[in-house]
Chains A and B, each alone.
Chain A
Amino acid sequence: MSKPFTAWDERALELAVEEVTHGLTRDARDELFARISPGDLEPLEQSAAALNLAGLGQLETPPAALLRRLEADARAHFGPAAKPPATPFHTAEARRPRRWLLAATGWLVAAGLLAAFLLRNLPERAQDSATRRELLVASAPDLVRADWVASADPLAGGVSGDVVWSSARQEGYMRFRDIAQNDPQRNQYQLWIFDQTRDEWEAKPIDGGVFDIGRGAEVVVPIDAKLEVRQAALFAVTLEPPGGVVVSRREHMLATATP
């Protein structure tokens, strides 16, 4: 049973206040813990922490290199089970059939395994993309963000959401709400990134990856840019034949986002 600080003697209280505000010497700390138990100190420690939070003001984002070290430390601490999935940035692509796998193991067996795998893992992977997006938003110093604007194409529906991109990290995520589920056998969504540092950038956007949309009120899809994106001036989503295209005919331009 912990002893409330209101019941401490004067000397214990004096030492405790010094310990939680700036720390005692080792000898003084020993004296304090001869009078109270370390656990008794917690309410005062939490008060100091709360006051610290109240007076902290605006928060500064840590360096990106430190964030990577924190993630590496976490993996070392929790072991392989805490490692991110081998393809953490490719949630939507995970739904695509993989021909080499089918050829290696036999179509029926592979299809069955793949279906079971997707059923078990898709929600977890989608959550991971959302988490990675949150991490990028919190830490990328050069982050650009833009809201999707639905086009007049009837297939666009009421699509909304946003896109975030960091050129420094070459990483970005699309977030969609109210976007129609597609049938990958008939068509797939494809992202195009217009990089204004490139020649003929308006005519030759960078392929940002092909993706599918399944069920879900909100979907987060990682961007899979095929070339380096230096300065994104426009993001656009089209609907294309299965597998995507090298050059879009832009017949179904569904949504655009301008940073």
Chain B
Amino acid sequence: MHAAQSNTELLLPRVARGEADAVQACIARYSALVWSLAKRLSRDVTALEDLVQEIFIDIWKSAGRFDPSQASETTFIATIARRRVIDRQRQAARAPKLEVVEEASASREEPGFAQIDLGDEARRAKAALALLKPEQRRLILMAVVEGLTHAEIATATGIPLGTVKSHIRRGLEQTAELLRPTAGGELP
């Protein structure tokens, strides 16, 4: 089991059994995370609430597949959320590129109101980010946190598209290596 979960009660196995208090606790624990993640990634803020509802329906449907030996609950839920956002984006027309960059940058200044233990994977991912060069780190965060396409990142930064792709790929590979269940080891 991932270390981050050792002090936090697992909710998804109980959600999968339809236990009402676990379902409510799951909403209480993860709604701020899903909302914040979707708000940052989504290009259609008018449909944001519908999107979050769809993500939670996906969570209810997928709870039985959660395997604590593979990922923490937080990462499992974030993966579901990202998948749903990407599916939505696939169906939607893309927003103007530079407007999205400015909007995403502005949203970073908004104050937060909730705290959650983001889990062991997020700590390892931070370590993976720390190993990247500043330019690589910036590019991968633009891709996974702001939801920009590789072409949009190339346009916004002036970095050749091939370089953008290779930096993002290297960052993902490095993180995946660190997150492998057999990679083991706790961060100091």
Do A and B pair up? The answer is yes
B110 CB contacts on chain A under 8 angstroms: 58, 60
A84 and B82 contact, Cβ closer than 8 Å, known pairs A22-B150, A62-B32: no
Asked if A67 is at the interface of the complex by the 8 Å CB criterion, the answer is yes
Q: Are B172 and A44 in contact (CB under 8 A)?
A: yes
B163 CB contacts on chain A under 8 angstroms: none
A138 and B32 contact, Cβ closer than 8 Å, known pairs A17-B169, A48-B82, A74-B60: yes
Residue-by-residue, is B131-152 near A (CB-CB < 8 Å gives 1, otherwise 0)?
A: 0000000001101110111100
Tell me whether chain B's interface is mostly helix, strand or loop, or mixed: helix
Q: Are B20 and A60 in contact (CB under 8 A)?
A: no
* Segment at the B interface, from A103-111, A127-135, A152-160, A178-186: A127-135
List the 7 closest pairs (A to B, CB-CB), nearest first.
Answer: A58-B112, A50-B125, A62-B35, A53-B122, A23-B86, A50-B121, A49-B78
Q: Are A60 and B176 in contact (CB under 8 A)?
A: no
Interface residues on A, range: 35 or more
Q: Are A51 and B175 in contact (CB under 8 A)?
A: yes
Name the distance in Å between A120's Cβ and chain B's nearest Cβ.
Answer: 15
Name the distance in Å between B149's Cβ and chain A's nearest Cβ.
Answer: 5
What separation, in Å, do the CA atoms of A247 and B81 have in the docked complex?
52
Q: Are A56 and B118 in contact (CB under 8 A)?
A: yes
Instruction: Name the one of B119, B129, B179 contacting A55, with C-beta atoms under 8 angstroms.
Output: B129
Asked if A114 is at the interface of the complex by the 8 Å CB criterion, the answer is no
Q: Are A46 and B31 in contact (CB under 8 A)?
A: no
Name the distance in Å between A137's Cβ and chain B's nearest Cβ.
Answer: 8
Q: Are B75 and A49 in contact (CB under 8 A)?
A: yes
Asked if B106 is at the interface of the complex by the 8 Å CB criterion, the answer is no
Task: Give residues of chain B (1-56) contacting chain A, Cβ–Cβ below 8 Å.
Answer: 18-21, 23-25, 27-29, 31-37, 39-41, 49, 52-53, 56
Asked if B159 is at the interface of the complex by the 8 Å CB criterion, the answer is no
Q: Are A139 and B31 in contact (CB under 8 A)?
A: yes
Q: Are B24 and A135 in contact (CB under 8 A)?
A: yes
What separation, in Å, do the CA atoms of A134 and B34 have in the docked complex?
17
Name the distance in Å between A169's Cβ and chain B's nearest Cβ.
Answer: 14
What separation, in Å, do the CA atoms of A81 and B14 have in the docked complex?
13
Asked if B99 is at the interface of the complex by the 8 Å CB criterion, the answer is no
Task: Give residues of chain A (120-179) contacting chain B, Cβ–Cβ below 8 Å.
Answer: 124, 127-128, 131-132, 134-135, 138-139, 141
Asked if A202 is at the interface of the complex by the 8 Å CB criterion, the answer is no
A132 and B24 contact, Cβ closer than 8 Å, known pairs A21-B168, A51-B140, A74-B60: yes
Q: Are A78 and B144 in contact (CB under 8 A)?
A: no
Task: Give residues of chain A (69-88) contacting chain B, Cβ–Cβ below 8 Å.
Answer: 69-71, 73-74, 77-79, 81-84
Instruction: Name the one of B56, B90, B144 contacting A26, with C-beta atoms under 8 angstroms.
Output: B90
Q: Are A82 and B18 in contact (CB under 8 A)?
A: yes
Name the distance in Å between B161's Cβ and chain A's nearest Cβ.
Answer: 11
Name the distance in Å between A216's Cβ and chain B's nearest Cβ.
Answer: 16
Q: Are B24 and A131 in contact (CB under 8 A)?
A: yes
